[in-house]
Amino acid sequence: MYGKVIFFLAPEAAAQEAVEKGLAVGGVFVPLELLENLGVRLVLTSVPPFLPNAALLPALSTLGKPVSVISPLPLGCKDPTLHHVFSFRRQVQFLPPPVVRDGEALEGSFLVPYQGAHYRVFYSMGEARCYLCRSAGHVLRLASVGAPSPPP
* CA 89 to each of CA 5, 46, 73: distance values in angstroms, whole numbers, following the listed order: 27, 6, 6
Which range in 31-35, 38-42, 124-128 is most confidently predicted, on average pLDDT? 38-42
What pLDDT score was predicted for residue 38? 67
Whole-angstrom distance, CA of residue 145 vs CA of residue 123:
27
Domains along the chain with CATH numbers: 1-37 (no CATH), 38-127 (3.30.70)
Whole-angstrom distance, CA of residue 22 vs CA of residue 99:
27
Percent of the chain with pLDDT over 70: 72
Whole-angstrom distance, CA of residue 56 vs CA of residue 54:
5
* pLDDT higher at 22 or 58: 58
